[in-house]
Structure 1
Amino acid sequence: MGAVCVFASANDTLAASLKQAAEEAGAGIARLGHSVVYGGSSRGLMGAVARGAVSAGGRVVGVMPRHLAGRERAAIDIAEIHLVDTLAQRKQLMADLADIFLVLPGGVGTLDEALEMITWYDVGLSRKPVLFVDVEGFWRDFAQMMAGLKARGVLRADIEGAWSVLPDVPSALAVIASSFAPRAA
């Protein structure tokens, strides 16, 4: 069993279709037999991921800075919640607990988390892949920006293995399934 860290928005005002995709991702990760590690919120896409995983019998681990616990309503129906002091500690613990990263739609916090994991890959601190799920074309502009950085020679060629942009949740789940060695009988 592995652990998939999911980065996603805690915004409650996102489209129902994005929440449905997040719930599908959480349930799919659980059905694959992997734990979900995420930001610990019960709101927005984060909450949908957790609810999906829990409803499918999965193990969910939240990591939340204390100063966000009230605003983001820390989830209480998950296996574990780790309260940390800073966002940097949150990212470090999530990275330590995870084998692979899944990025759903989100804002600057989601981008910060995902880009830090790509940076860690670039500087040799991690070789864990980052999978962006392009729900409704959400990450299209990001993919274009990264292609532009590559074209300008800012990105090294070997960093491309750090991330991929996948068209939907089933495609991401297929990559996750193939990323873990089969379990011993």
Structure 2
Amino acid sequence: MSALIAAAQAPDYPAEIVGVLSNRAAAPGLAIAAGHGIATASLAQSKFPTRDMFEDTMTQVLESWEVDYVCLAGFMRILGEDFVDRWQGRMINIHPSLLPAYKGLHTHERALADGVSEHGCTVHFVTPGLDEGPSILQARVPVLPGDTPESLADRILVEEHRIYPEALRMLASGEVRA
């Protein structure tokens, strides 16, 4: 999220970050966004009787900000089909693996356990299936002898910060579509 905000500050960047929504009130990104004068909102899913009500409220917030695209960054909830369909082709996510490998959680641990020689990250369109949407960009990182999940994650994070703003630029400028 910080990388997207930084990229959007360039005068020639084709997207503006108009709001940051989190499902965790203590998410550091909310304070970062507020510090840049960006609207923020926090919605705890546990406060809603159903997932549909939670996602309907998220949609209301996003629509009140008049967003064109939704960029997920650390939003660790599986989104319902209605919500995903509402934003189809306009919602992207960054995932810490070279999809389709290692969908879901604990990607670095799983890659190391499998002994792969490279790992990485993927920006992809969000579809109803978990981490199944079409890829926009990937970045590869070699797995080094002695890597831990943490050391591998640190190197991949550098690439995430590079490719996520580039993928949003491609989407906002019309270079890529779902």
TM-score range, shorter chain: 0.3 to 0.5
Larger radius of gyration: 2
Q: Which structure exhibits the higher relative contact order, with contacts defined as CA atoms closer than 8 Å and separated by 6 or more residues? A: 1
- Would you tell me which structure has more helix in proportion to its own residues? 1
TM-score when scaled to structure 2? 0.40
